[in-house]
Amino acid sequence: MPDSHKKHAGPTQVFLGPRGGGRGEAESAGEANNPTTERAAFLRAEIERHNHAYYVLDAPTIPDAEYDRLFRELQEIEAAHPDLQTPDSPTQRVGGAPLAAFRQVAHAVPMLSLNNAFSNAEVTAFDRRCRDGLGVADVAYSCEPKYDGLAVTLHYENGVFVQGATRGDGFTGEDVTHNLRTVRNIPLRLVGRDVPDRLEVRGEILMPRRDFAALNERQRARGEKEFVNPRNAAAGSLRQLDSRITAKRPLRFFAYGIADAVAVTPAPTLHSQLMERLAGWGFPVAAERAVANGAVGQLEYYARIGTARRELPYDIDGVVYKVDRLADQAKLGFVARAPRFAIAHKYPAEEALTTVEAIEVQVGRTGAITPVARLAPVFVGGVTVTNATLHNEDEVRRKDVRVGDTVIVRRAGDVIPEVAAVVPEKRPDTAIEFIMPEHCPVCGAAIEKPADEAIARCTGGLFCPAQRKQALLHFASRRAMDIEGLGDKLVDQLVDNAIIKTPADLYKLGILKLANLERMAEKSAANLLAAIEKSRKTTLARFIFALGIRNVGEATAKDLARHFGGLDALMAADVERLQQVTDVGPVVAASIVRFFAEPHNVEVVEQLRAAGVRWAEGAPTLLANSPIAGKTFVLTGTLPTLTREAARELIEARGGKVAGSVSKKSHYVVAGTEAGSKLDKARELGVTILDESQLMALLEP
């Protein structure tokens, strides 16, 4: 993630060090003539979407420079129009939510952010602000590279490492102590006679480029998924629930500052002294650090590190300047989300000129249609690039990219290259505009682009080869057809070997064909066939959900099944009829109509019926007359005869809703034996409590 979201700071006694990010650029800056309020709302939503992909999913979708541009644009809008600043704006929040898989740790000293500088003029302005704020003629700065890794904090008690955590959202992180213990260059016991009783060190976990290349080579040899870049490899390795896996990964740690210390004697007066002290205690610190005087010294350091950047053993995307004198840091203080005494000076994304030889489209696993520019080969960012993403049709139009154009290709780190801009003066008369195809290049199904969405999609979800694996996995999932044993690796083999083309083919499988697959013994094959056979008898709601209709989730599938009673009535419904269903609006209704308008999808449905997939059908349920329509139930404890799933289905069949927790909005709590805190909460709030017999009486028609 760019430093605008990753740099750490804290109260007066926090000493900053290099941080980094490798997030990537944003997909679209939107239309230049949008009203300011709409533009700000768009930017907030877009930045938060990329924050989630980067911090929670460890799957960055765009390169750094464009993300930084979006963030700066939002900052500028809010600075010019303070009334547009909202409490949930990304400019008011640092980072993303921690993963739930680890115990959460509250940071005693928040891990906040640094502002960015992108030009020499901005660095000069930063130096002037520091001098003016301190009332001095010149200022010395501690300078360090800005790492591209994952921020962590390490706690030591009496010189012994006791706990480590990730940055998380800046205020709460993930407890990854066991994994950090496996990182070879993190000292488990500090050395030296001046070790403080309590110490919290901030730093970065990263993976050297050479080790990253070797790791990916091993991944390829084992036929396993390769990592996108060193930053993601480091983040994914540190977030393993099994620390034995982390121990096998070549992670390294670099310290960049102290968040908290008790009885550090003698007390350092300079950040550069602090870094020396950390090195003396056994912490690895940046060998390239230096002290520079004024803006001239800062810019000289920036140029020197930029020249050496390719030769460094790890990825960086800039440098960090911090006022060296700690007392001056305290005097300058902080703004809302960043210190006044430090700034990150970022290098420009690596760019090159080339020509667009063709624009084609790729079909993703979910049917997303992505335009891709086929380029004359060009060396940029350390590799030869021949393809670059254009993201979506709107982006192609906004940038006006045409076949034959000379374009600027940008590649930041190891993320997917993109066409940053067109060079208009080099456009030939023969340049050809891009036209989104009407039919999927893989399966021939219609391509649809809803008016309120940026992404066009193939409508052949059940039979399109590009979506085949995803469709099968969804079809077999527990909440859909519940085919136990049909997982990712088996689906890969079935599809790659052309054994399965549509979900209907599952019901034609034989034990010999399955048993011949890799890691599939005869017993496993028999178990899978038994699960497939069991799935032939299902419910209409499960079947609708299993079809994978866009925007139709499990709850909507149940509403559709109750409303129509049978599949044929659903398939024949138009948009107006569909919108009579509870919680079905125009977007969902249009998705359903598009799905069943595709002949190939209907053909697969009929094949499934012919294969013996069946369910009970009946007359449409008139939920408006149900006494519990729209009422919220909470289930707790063990009921005498009903499982929770059976009770849920009975309630939902009559138009009720089942929630997981008790609140003032709950209408009923159904309690069995060993009911716990939910029952206590219901009594406290005065919610009506039912036993099983009372529930059944309420559900009677």
Task: Supply φ then ψ for residue 434, to 5 degrees.
Answer: -80, 135
Structure tokens at 478: 């527990």
Radius of gyration in angstroms for the set of CA atoms belonging to the chain, rounded to a whole number: 29
Cis, peptide link before residue 266, omega less than 30° from 0: yes
**The two three-digit tokens of residue 45, written as one number:** 């939503």
Distance CA 658, CA 643 (A): 14
Given a contact cutoff of 8 angstroms between Cβ atoms, the answer to whether 201 and 258 are in contact is: yes
Distance CA 234, CA 238 (A): 6
Is 248 annotated in the active site? no
Q: Which of 382, 385, 310, 301 is nearest to 345 (CA)?
A: 301
Q: How many CB atoms lie within 10 A of CB 524?
A: 15
Q: Which of 146, 399, 558, 678 is catalytic?
A: 146
Whole-number Å distance between alpha carbons of 588 and 204: 45
CA–CA separation, 441 vs 445, rounded Å? 8
Q: Which whole-number Å values give the CA distances from 93 to 40, 47, 71, 89, in the listed order?
A: 15, 11, 12, 7
Q: 13: which 2 tokens? A: 């006694």
Contact residues for 28 (Cβ-Cβ < 8 A; gap 6+): 46, 391, 392, 394, 395, 398, 454
Copy the structure tokens of residue 297.
Answer: 């010294």
Scan for tokens 């939002």, then name that residue.
74
Cα–Cα distance between 18 and 332 in angstroms, integer?
A: 19
Q: In 223-361, which residue ranges form alpha helices assigned H by DSSP?
A: 230-238, 243-247, 271-280, 294-308, 326-332
Q: List 240's β-bridge partners, or say none.
A: none
For residue 367, give every residue at least 6 positions away whose Cβ sits within 8 Å of its Cβ, in sequence order, or none: 457, 458, 459, 460, 461, 464, 466, 467, 550
DSSP 270: B
Q: Are 230 and 184 in contact (CB under 8 A)?
A: no
The CA-atom distances, in angstroms, between 125 and each of 120, 341, 342 are: 9, 12, 12
C-alpha span between 69 and 81 (Å, rounded): 18
Token digits for 567? 């599949």
CB 70 within 8 A of CB 2: no
Reading the block at residue 35, the tokens are 């009203």
DSSP-based three-state secondary structure for 470: helix
Q: Is 574 helix (H, G, I), strand (E, B) or coil?
A: coil
3-state secondary structure of 294: helix
Give residue for tokens 């709107």: 394
Q: Which residue has the tokens 């050496």?
A: 308
Q: Where are the alpha helices (DSSP H) in 248-322?
A: 271-280, 294-308
Q: Encoding tokens for residue 427? A: 């456009």
Phi-psi map region of 223: left, alpha, beta (phi>0 left; psi -120 to 50 alpha): left
Closest CA to 398 of 421, 432, 431: 421
Catalytic residues: 146
